[in-house]
C-alpha cells in the first residue's frame, strides 16, 4: 500500500504547493488589498495594493496609478512587499527541489537518500513560503480592522475594507503549508522495499503451488 500511496501523496503535495505558489504570486500583484466605497459616489470603488492604487468606475473601467515612493507607503505595505517577494522565491525554490525528489522521476533512482533530503527541504520551504504569505496578509487585515473601528476618525470619513487579494493570500498560504505537509508525510511514512515485495510475491506463489499439488488426485 505504501508503494501505491506514496507517489500519489507526493504528486498531490506538489500540485497543491504549485497552486499555492501561483496564488501567492497573484496576491503580490493584485491591487485589491484594500477596498474603499464612497457613499457620495457609489459608482466609484477605490482599491489599494502593494504597488498601485486604482479607482473602478462603472462607466470608465479601471484607472490605476503606481506609488511614487516606497518609503511613503504605510509600514504594513512596505513589509508586505518584502515578505511576499520572499514567499514567492522560497516557493519557487521549493518546487524545484521537491520536483527532483519525486519517486516517479527516473533521475537518480539509486540515490534515494538524496531524493528524500530534497523532498524534506522542499516541504520546509513550502512551509516557510506559506507562513510568509499569511503574515503580511494578516497584518494588512489587522491594520484595516483597527482603522475601521477607530473612534478618533469621524463617521463621515470613508473607511477601508478587506479586498479580494487578502482572501487569495490566505488561501495561498494554506495551500503551501498543506502541500509541504503532504511531502513531509511521505518521508515519515513506512517504506516498503522492493526486495520485500518480491519476497512476499514469491512466497505467495509457492503457497499457491502447494495448494495445487495437494488438491490434485
User: How would CATH label the architecture of 1-32+74-190?
Assistant: Up-down Bundle (1.20)
**Cell numbers given for 117:** 533530503
Angle, in degrees to the nearest 10, between helices 164-188 and 2-29: 160
The answer, as to whether pTM is greater than 0.95, is: no
Give me 12's grid cell: 498531490
Digit-coded pLDDT (tens) for 98-109? 888 777 766 655
Residue 7: predicted pLDDT = 77
CA distances in angstroms from 133 to 9, 54, 100, 215, listed in the order given:
23, 23, 24, 66
Which grid cell is 157?
Answer: 470619513
List, for residues 93-135, the tens digit of each pLDDT value: 999 988 887 777 666 556 667 878 888 899 999 999 999 999 9
Residue with cell 499457491: 208
Residue with cell 482603522: 147
Of the listed ranges 51-60, 105-114, 121-130, 181-190, the one predicted with least confidence: 105-114
What do you get for the CA distance between the two ends of the chain, in Å?
Answer: 38
Q: Which helix (H) or strand (E) holds 120?
A: helix 112-148
Delimit the domains of the chain by residue range.
1-32+74-190
Amino acid at each position: 500500500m505504501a508503494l501505491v500511496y506514496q507517489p500519489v501523496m507526493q504528486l498531490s503535495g506538489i500540485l497543491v504547493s504549485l497552486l499555492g505558489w501561483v496564488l501567492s504570486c497573484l496576491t503580490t500583484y493584485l491591487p485589491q488589498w484594500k477596498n474603499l466605497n464612497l457613499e457620495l459616489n457609489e459608482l466609484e470603488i477605490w482599491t489599494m495594493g502593494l504597488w498601485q492604487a486604482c479607482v473602478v468606475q462603472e462607466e470608465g473601467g479601471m484607472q490605476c496609478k503606481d506609488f511614487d515612493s516606497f518609503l511613503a507607503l504605510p509600514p504594513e505595505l512596505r513589509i508586505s512587499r518584502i515578505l511576499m517577494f520572499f514567499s514567492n522565491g522560497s516557493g519557487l525554490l521549493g518546487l524545484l527541489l521537491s520536483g527532483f525528489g519525486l519517486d516517479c522521476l527516473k533521475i537518480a533512482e539509486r540515490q534515494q537518500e538524496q531524493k528524500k533530503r530534497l523532498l524534506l527541504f522542499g516541504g520546509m520551504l513550502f512551509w516557510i513560503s506559506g507562513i510568509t504569505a499569511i503574515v503580511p496578509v494578516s497584518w494588512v487585515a489587522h491594520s484595516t480592522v483597527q482603522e475601521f473601528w477607530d473612534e478618533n476618525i469621524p463617521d463621515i470619513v470613508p473607511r477601508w475594507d478587506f479586498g479580494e487579494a487578502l482572501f487569495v493570500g490566505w488561501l495561498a498560504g494554506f495551500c503551501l503549508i498543506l502541500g509541504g505537509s503532504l511531502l513531509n508525510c511521505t518521508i515519515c511514512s513506512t517504506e516498503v522495499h522492493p526486495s520485500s515485495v518480491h519476497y512476499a510475491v514469491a512466497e505467495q506463489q509457492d503457497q499457491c503451488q502447494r495448494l495445487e499439488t495437494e488438491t490434485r488426485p
